Amino acid sequence: MWAPSSLASSQLSRLGARDLRGAAAVAPAAPAPQQLRLGCSRRRAQRVVAMAGSGKFFVGGNWKCVSARSASSALHAWGISLLDDSFVLKNHCSFVYPASSLWELALLFLNGTKDFVSKLVSELNAATLEPDVDVVVAPPFIYIDQVKNSLTDRIEVSAQNVWVGKGGAYTGEISAEQLVDIGCKWVILGHSERRNIIGETDEFIAKKAAYALSQNVKVIACIGELLEEREAGKTFEVCFKQMKAYADSITNWADVVIAYEPVWAIGTGKVASPEQAQEVHAAVRDWLKTNVSPEVASSVRIIYGGSVNAGNCADLAKKEDIDGFLVGGASLKGPDFTTIINSVTSKKVAA
């Protein structure tokens, strides 16, 4: 596992401890683990263990679009320099990220071309995926049709955003009705990039969620705290506030997957430790139990996002309240995304 851990392992675990003390009044009581029999007869002797929720494992790929041109400016702005077999992020610290080849790195930054999408779809079509996982990928709007027409039906397609209400004269927007028309079954809402860069509020996001659900578009509802909020011991407070906005608008949770994505972990290589993620997932499940219903708390999938990769997914997947992943960068490489999907096997042990 190569993820740099100087912040994540030491500093953030201290922060996590402080956070827990600050939120003692709402400290989660971990629900009793359930054992779920696998649907696949080939593995009848195996069980899914340690899932506090009863939902099927879920993995989403968020195919963010970075053009080659913006990538080179981003590299410059971030102080990244290329070495023979690694690239170095020099602005804040001296993390060194191995890249198996510069070609792989180039591919990452060429995401956003039809050729790239076509290659990725071919890799996914050829992959052997565990049966006990719901898999969804979210291309940029302009590639949804291409992906729908070429990707195996085994994988469903999501949008990365949707208009807040019924379609109409809203230049540049895409409505839920249009997503349905094109066969797009999911939408990601509340992603931190839309909250913190575009300025979408909790209430606006929740309204989008309610409208999308009313049109039978399923929702990946993101939540998550900024680094300064974690450092101030406000992780639970922020996540619960975001959850409350969703809960005030959503009446049917059957088509909702919650994605906990700490903002400090998104696209940074600083993955939350399995314990840090589990702590928040358990708290969110407990919040749902108290504020929505025990049934919803048990059935809703709570997935983790933020620098998930092929090397760290298995340890995260073992945690009882982690029901899958929302993956950005690593979802752009077919074999890595496949490994992440198949990390459901980490929840399986011989009976």
**Residue of 4, 38, 62, 163 interacting with ligand PGA (CB under 6 A):** 62
Distance CA 169, CA 122 (A): 37
Strand 301-305 to 324-327 pairing: parallel
> Which span (77-85, 157-165, 301-309, 343-351) binds ligand PGA, by CB under 6 A?
301-309
Q: Does 262 bind ligand PGA (CB under 6 A)?
A: no
Site string for ligand PGA, 208-227 (x = CB under 6 A): --------------------
- Give the binding range for ligand PGA (CB under 6 A) out of 21-29, 129-137, 170-178, 260-268: 260-268
The correct pick among 16, 262, 328, 334 for binding ligand PGA (CB under 6 A) is 328
242 binds ligand PGA (CB under 6 A): no
Q: What distances in angstroms separate CA 299 from CA 48, 229, 245, 317, 323, one per listed residue?
A: 15, 29, 19, 17, 10
Nearer to ligand PGA, 286 or 336 (CB): 336
Q: Under 8 Å CB-to-CB from 249, ≥6 apart: which residues?
A: 206, 207, 209, 210
Shortest distance, position 332 Cβ to ligand PGA, whole Å: 9
CB of 269 to ligand PGA, least distance (A): 8
Catalytic residue positions, numbered = 191, 261
The answer to whether the beta carbons of residues 187 and 212 sit under 8 Å apart is: yes
| Alpha carbon distances (Å) from 222 to 66, 148, 153 | 21, 24, 25
Pairing of strands 86-89, 80-82: antiparallel
Residue number of the CB closest to ligand PGA reads 328
Helix%, strand%, coil% for the chain, nearest 5: 45, 20, 35
Residues 269-288 that bind ligand PGA (CB under 6 A): none
In the chain, the DSSP E strands lie at: 34-37, 46-51, 57-62, 80-82, 86-89, 95-98, 133-138, 155-159, 186-189, 218-223, 256-260, 301-305, 324-327, 348-350
Which of 307, 312, 338, 342 binds ligand PGA (CB under 6 A)? It is: 307
Tell whether residue 28 is a contact of ligand PGA (CB under 6 A). Answer: no
Binding ligand PGA by CB under 6 A: which of 31, 53, 262, 329? Answer: 329
- Which of 4, 28, 139, 305 forms a contact with ligand PGA (CB under 6 A)? 305
**Total number of residues binding ligand PGA (CB under 6 A)?**
13
Binder of ligand PGA out of 12, 121, 179, 326 (CB under 6 A): 326
Give the interface with ligand PGA as residue ranges (CB under 6 A).
62, 261, 266-267, 305-308, 326-330
